[in-house]
Structure 1
């Protein structure tokens, strides 16, 4: 029962990830310390 629950959770997470990837597309850049919002506020100052 427990293995089935873990497998179901992993499968569901994978499907959600694929759906989000399909809708939004791959990220333009790797997530790092420089976030676009921080760069935007820094350039506005």
Structure 2
């Protein structure tokens, strides 16, 4: 179970996902996909 997701978007690097499970353990992921569609669907600034 995932309890929280944090998206970290550095200006000069690929985005990161910080995911916490239901026991509050962090999992950290990087990805290289384009995220403008995600930001737009979440109504966040591009």
Answer yes or no: same fold by TM over 0.5.
no
* More helix by percentage: 1
TM-score by length of 2: 0.21
Which one has a bigger Cα radius of gyration?
1
Task: Using CA pairs under 8 Å that are at least 6 residues apart, name the structure with larger relative contact order, 1 or 2.
Answer: 2
Which has the larger strand fraction? 2
